[in-house]
Amino acid sequence: MSSTLAFKKTYNSMPKVTSFTPGRVNLIGEHIDYNGGIVLPVALEKGIFISLTPRSDNSIRIFSDQFDEVIELSINNIATSKWSDYALGSIVYANKAGFLNGGADIAITSTLPIGAGLSSSSALIVGILKLAASLSKKTVDNISIAILAKRVENEFIGMPCGIMDQMAISCTDPGKAIALDTKNLSFEVISLPKSYHIAIIHSGEYRLNTDGNYKKRKEECDIIKEIIGHNDICNMSDNEFILLKNTSTDLYQRALHCVSEHQRALKAIKAIKDDNIPKLGLLMTESHASMRDDFKMSLTNIDNLVNDAIHLGAVGARLTGGGFGGCIVACVLKKNLKTWRQKLLSLHPKAFSVI
Ligand code: GLA
């Protein structure tokens, strides 16, 4: 159902504004967007439709087709670990930014699976903030929207994420990748290889970024930053590595992932520009090994899915997103896609194709 129709059915009126906001998949550069790294996310054709009408009082009503309920709140409410927190936080921060002056009626419909690592929550926040900004007479650029959206997640939701998802969603169009320098937010839009498909397969293992695993890795990285005395883990020196190795094997391994993942992301950007997709594939597969062995953010079922994806002909495959569940991303020749997908899914009955 379109969000306009959902809005009409729920509130018995037409919405003032409606938009589509893409989800994102990360090709390479995992868990380094808060450690000084370069990342390569792609905005998706699947995403979130949002219809919204601002209100002059402080009430907020939110309908979502994925939960099939209307939640009634006020802009004075705080997060309560419910699906509606993301929309609530977006309206609260749209007020803080002066885009709105009061609550809103909202209807959300989605083509993105939840808990898949495809950033449905960031898409919702960016989408609402952009709609709210469009209703105000303020000129707001895409990077400022991304920064505000990150604040909603960090401050309102309590999810200590980096800036990758919000930037990918706010700053590029579906089907395009951005090579993003997370230190200064400069980015280059990159076209994807024409003869290959970027396939996304959900493992059937569900996860939430707020379930604590992401936070644990973030906290380990915070300790590394304290030990080395700066925030740029991805570019740490050999001496800093030795210092870490003598302090803790776990922390050393986390840092090893960050440094090597940053280098792989740089090489992957070059490989795409050189149209060397087999090289991109190898880097993706190496990235998975690093996430599995050093950052320790994978699951056995996901490792098996990645291995089978490669054995069945993908040039490369890896877990994508925050980890501990969700989707894999694989690079597959378009002409082999149908058979590849059928064979992979028949080996993994819990898995399903997203794109
Ligand atoms: C989640 C976070 C991002 C990023 C990825 C891992 O999607 O929101 O900021 O850290 O995990 O790369």
Bridge partners (DSSP) of residue 331 are 198, 316
* Structural domain for 98, as ranges: 3-191
Tell me which residues are annotated as active site: 165
H helix intervals, the chain: 3-11, 85-96, 120-135, 142-151, 164-171, 213-228, 238-247, 249-273, 277-293, 300-311, 337-347
Pocket residues: Cβ below 6 A from ligand 1 = 26, 30-31, 33-34, 119, 161-162, 164-165, 209, 321-322
> Which domain CATH number covers 185?
3.30.230.10
Residue 31 Cα to ligand 1 middle (Å):
6
- Are residues 306 and 290 located together in one domain of the fold? yes
The reply to whether 179 and 241 lie within a common domain is: no
15 and 45 co-located in one domain: yes
C-alpha 269 – ligand 1 centre gap (Å): 19
- State the distance from the centre of ligand 1 to the C-alpha of 192, rounded, in angstroms: 21
R_g (Cα) of the chain, nearest Å: 20
pLDDT, position 113 = 81
From the list 19, 47, 181, 175, the residue with the least C-alpha distance to 116 is 47
**Which of 168, 191, 214 is the last residue before a domain boundary?**
191
Mutate to test the pocket of ligand 1, among 27, 28, 31 (most ligand atoms within 8 A of CB): 31
Taking residue 173's Cβ as centre, other Cβ atoms within 10 Å add up to 9
155 and 119 both lie in a single domain: yes
Whether 28 and 133 share a structural domain: yes
Using the structure block, give the residue that is written with the tokens 């059928």: 342
Structural domain count of the chain: 2
Instruction: Give the ligand 1 atom nearest the CA of 162.
Output: 9
Final residue of a structural domain among 170, 191, 212: 191
Cβ–Cβ under 8 Å, residues 180 and 41: yes
CA distance 122 to 302: 24
pTM: 0.95
Query: Could you tell me if 91 and 201 lie in one domain?
Result: no
Q: Are residues 184 and 205 in the same domain?
A: no
Encode 44-61 in three state secondary structure: EEEEEEEEEEECCCCEEE
Please give the backbone phi and psi of residue 36, each rounded to the nearest 5 degrees, phi first.
90, 15
pLDDT for position 1: 78
Rounded to 5 degrees, φ, ψ at 260 are: -70, -35
Atom of ligand 1 nearest to the CA of 122: 8
pLDDT digits (tens, 9 = 90+) for 170-190: 999 998 999 999 999 999 999
326 exposed, middle or buried (CB, 10 Å; 0-12, 13-18, 19+)?
buried
Instruction: Based on the fold, state whether residues 333 and 254 are members of the same structural domain.
Output: yes
pLDDT of residue 287: 98
What's residue 208's pLDDT? 66
| Distance from residue 183's CA to the centre of ligand 1 (Å) | 15
Out of 152, 157, 165, 218, give the residue to mutate to test ligand 1, the one with the largest number of ligand atoms within 8 Å of its CB: 165
Span from the CA of 119 to the centroid of ligand 1 (angstroms): 9
Testing ligand 1's pocket by substitution, the residue of 28, 32, 33 carrying the most ligand atoms inside 8 A of its CB is 33
Q: Within this chain, do residues 84 and 102 fall inside the same structural domain, yes or no?
A: yes
Query: Are residues 201 and 305 in contact, defined by beta-carbon separation less than 8 angstroms?
Result: yes
Q: Give residue 210's pLDDT.
A: 62
Looking at the fold, whether 46 and 185 belong to one and the same domain comes out as yes
Residues 317 and 228 in one domain: yes
Residue nearest to atom 5 of ligand 1 (CA): 322
What is the pLDDT at residue 218? 96
Give per-residue pLDDT as tens, 232-277: 999 999 999 999 999 999 999 999 999 999 999 999 999 999 999 9
Question: Which parts of the chain sit beneath pLDDT 70?
Answer: 208-210
